[in-house]
Amino acid sequence: MTTRAVQILSAYREGSGCSFHVGLQITETAIALSEAYDYHRRGGDGGAEWIYSVRTPRASLAAVLAHFESLSGLRPAPAAVDSGDRLIHYIRELARTGELTTELGKHVVRDRVAAHFAAAGVPTELDTFNWIDMD
C-alpha cells in the first residue's frame, strides 16, 4: 500500500479567522488522523497553527475496520474496495452521521476517533503541535 492522504472535513471559521481541516493519512507503518487549525494573520496578531492528531500502527487496520463494521449507524463500505478505502469510507461515515463536524471544539474530532481506535482494542498515540507567530 502506498501512502494515501485524504481530506475528511474542511471549513473556514469567520469569527476566529481560522481555516479548519481534518485529514486522514494511511502509510505503510501508520494510520493517522489530524485535526488542524490555521489562524490567519489579523491586525497585530501574527497567526498560529494548532494540530491535534491520533495515530495507530498500520497493523491495527483490520481491528479498526472490524470495529467500524460492527456499528449499526454506519453504512457498510462497498465490497469491492481495498482496506484503505474502507477505512476512508468509515471515517467519512462518522462525518455523515454528525459524529465528526466542523463545529466541534478543539481536539474533539481527534478524541472521538481515538475513542473508536480504543474501542477496537488497538494502541493509540495522541499528539499536539502548535506554532505561534510572535511578530
- pLDDT at position 109 is 96
Cβ pair 64, 77 in contact under 8 A: no
Rounded to the nearest 10°, the torsion over CA 11, 12, 13, 15 is -160
Helix (H, G, I), strand (E, B) or coil at 23: strand
Which residues on adjacent β-strands are paired with residue 55?
32, 125
Closest residue by Cα to residue 34 from 49, 52, 16: 52
Encode the chain (135 residues) as per-residue pLDDT tens digits: 578 999 999 999 887 778 999 999 999 999 999 999 888 776 776 778 889 999 999 999 999 999 999 999 999 998 878 999 999 999 999 999 999 999 998 899 999 999 999 999 999 999 988 776 655
